[in-house]
Structure 1
Amino acid sequence: MPSDNHSRRPSARSLIDRFGYPHLLAGTLVLVTATILLGVAAKATGSGLACEANWPQCDAGPFNLLPANLPSFYEWFHRFVAMFAGFAIIGSAVAAWRSPTVDKRVTALVVLGMVLTPIQVVLGWQTVTQYTMDILSWHFWTAVLIFGLFVVATVLVWENRLGPRHVTGALALGAVSVPFHVLFSPPVITDVTEYSPTVQMVQYGVTLAVVAAAIVAPMVGRRRLENDRLSSYLTGTGVFAIVVVFLGRRTGMTLDPMIDSLYLGTAGLLFVAFIAGIVLTKRAS
């Protein structure tokens, strides 16, 4: 006859039960961010065609699964982290789909991210086997789209804990990031030094910060500030920020002085818009 102690023994709980879905989603966002920045490092160091252009294998160790040199390590480590990010994306989507407590909007966002993940994997494979600028661009923007989807989903699951100060914080993050985005952009940094891998890592890091600020500020502001005009302003600033990010990306791919001038002008206006948003938010709250 089974003992009462055995029947009362707690069963193993899932990670969702232990840490909660918001933490799972936040962790997935961190992995997605790390994957993007490691991809930038691989591209900036010219490691995209390392591993002897093998995929998913590399160029050393059993079955050529390990890197043989430093360039191969950059590419291999990018793939290694991307694998865990992919598992986290799938896990987040499955957990949201199966949980009745997760907002349906969140479920739709993370499931879309899961659908885009194999497309991103195929694009990553194509960057190794072909490495054309068009494929590289699609690979980057698909990654940014997945990043944006998970930022939106993360804000939705944490929205009850976010308030006006988080709107101000997001706008401040954007205001701080824009000057660095310009400073480390090809039209500016090449007048001082080379557009090195470290410089590219920093610029793309602040690029993701600008994108995050453009999403968080209007989403939280619409819910917490209860000011339609200010909400519209924050939304417009967010859209404008995406335009600046797009132009900033173009400056690294073209040698068109008109694109460079347009980027620098719009970046300056975006900085002013972020600062004005901080002032308006503080007044409204």
Structure 2
Amino acid sequence: MSYDNHTPDSRLRSLIDRFGYPHLLTATLTLVAATILLGVAAKATGSGLACEANWPRCDGGPFNLLPANLPSFYEWFHRFVAMFAGFAIVGSALAAWRLPDVDRRVTALVVLGMVLTPVQVALGRETVKQYTMDILSLHFWTAVTIFTLFLVATVSVWAPRLSKPHVLGSLALGIAAVPAHVVLSPAVDAGIATYSPTMQLTQYAVTLTLLGAAIVAAMVGRRRFSGRAVTALLAGPPLVVVVLFFGRRAVNPALEAPYLVAVVALLSTFAVAMVWSRREVPSDENSTALSP
């Protein structure tokens, strides 16, 4: 499937022709990830209720549009980047809808992400107006859902160019990221007292890396392999979600054990997938070898 040689019939098509739809999706995914991490930073630093609980305005400058202090800046900058992420999400969905050579499954993913975006915006407003743990949690998981939709869509459009080395590289990254996730969690130290904003931000960055590595390995492996390695690769993404779920609650000592069990299961799955994937001969190479 080609995403490069389109006949331009609008400014949108001309822009996509120049940079390519896969690049547009990659940029959108990057903005969504940045929005999530900035939201974590705002929460971790206690800046979520800065801007004097105004939304979408802040607490300084003309019409209270700008931040008045450093905590307000964290919250304001999170909203600022989120605005551009929203524009990119809408642009990606419209481009997928208009371009005939974008796979309809990719279109469905990004359109669903666009549909969830106003829901996420509304939840963001409620985190300022009400700031309850239920709303904060729903706001976070909706963001992760949007990120996952665009992650799968992005990997889908790049998948024809990815091969076995990308699977192995993703698994190696995942194996390295799992212990980093544990070291950064409150489960290995004194709990919430030492769970600093920097640790929280870094741990969530590692989490997104884990999710990305698992999905790349699973999607590309399923495309390139046909043996038992596929089973282990497909088990990776759900286990990352389990690690994320319990990792967010590992500040509670009672939930440290499920978190550590999930971590061990994920690390073991990555290791097994690595061994089996190294032994696996890609299906396209098998086809070439069997050709007369």
Do the structures match in fold with TM over 0.5? yes
Partner of 1:7: none
Taking the aligned partners of 2:32 and 2:218, their CA distance within structure 1 comes to 22
The one-letter code matched in structure 2 to 1:174 is G
- C-alpha deviations, 1:49-91, integer Å up to 9, x for none? 0000000000000110000000000000000000000000000
Taking the aligned partners of 1:192 and 1:159, their CA distance within structure 2 comes to 40
Partner of 1:6: none
Aligned: 1:274 with 2:273? no
Taking the aligned partners of 2:122 and 2:180, their CA distance within structure 1 comes to 32
Q: Using the aligned pairs only, state the percent identity.
A: 65
Structure 2 SS opposite 1:52: helix
Aligned counterpart in structure 1 of residue 260 of structure 2, from 253, 260, 264: 264
Structure 2 SS opposite 1:250: coil
Deviation at residue 191 of structure 1 after TM alignment: 5.8
TM-score normalized by the length of structure 2: 0.89
Partner of 2:121: 121
**Does 238-247 or 107-116 show the bigger shift?**
238-247
Alignment of 1:42-121 (within 5 A): 42-121=42-121
Partner of 2:239: 240
Q: Structure 1: any 5+ residue segments left out of the alignment?
A: 1-10
The one-letter code matched in structure 2 to 1:276 is V
Taking the aligned partners of 1:190 and 1:118, their CA distance within structure 2 comes to 39
Structure 1 SS opposite 2:101: coil
Taking the aligned partners of 1:142 and 1:278, their CA distance within structure 2 comes to 31
> Is the contact between residue 235 and residue 269 of structure 2 (CA under 8 Å) also seen in structure 1?
no
- Identify if the C-alpha distance between structure 1 residues 197 and 24 changes in structure 2 by more than 3 Å, giving closer, same or farther: same
Structure 2 SS opposite 1:251: coil
> Is the contact between residue 93 and residue 114 of structure 1 (CA under 8 Å) also seen in structure 2?
yes
Deviation at residue 142 of structure 1 after TM alignment: 0.5
Taking the aligned partners of 2:270 and 2:231, their CA distance within structure 1 comes to 14
TM-score normalized by the length of structure 1: 0.91
Partner of 2:248: 249
- Tell me how many residue pairs correspond in the alignment: 271
- Identify if the C-alpha distance between structure 1 residues 112 and 46 changes in structure 2 by more than 3 Å, giving closer, same or farther: same
Alignment of 1:31-42 (within 5 A): 31-42=31-42
Alignment of 1:217-236 (within 5 A): 217-227=217-227, 229-236=228-235
Alignment of 1:144-223 (within 5 A): 144-190=144-190, 194-223=194-223
Taking the aligned partners of 1:249 and 1:118, their CA distance within structure 2 comes to 25
The one-letter code matched in structure 2 to 1:151 is L
Taking the aligned partners of 1:118 and 1:192, their CA distance within structure 2 comes to 33
Deviation at residue 256 of structure 1 after TM alignment: 4.3
Deviation at residue 194 of structure 1 after TM alignment: 1.4
Partner of 1:8: none
Taking the aligned partners of 2:39 and 2:73, their CA distance within structure 1 comes to 12
- Identify if the C-alpha distance between structure 1 residues 173 and 256 changes in structure 2 by more than 3 Å, giving closer, same or farther: same
The one-letter code matched in structure 2 to 1:146 is I
> Is the contact between residue 214 and residue 242 of structure 1 (CA under 8 Å) also seen in structure 2?
no
Deviation at residue 21 of structure 1 after TM alignment: 0.3
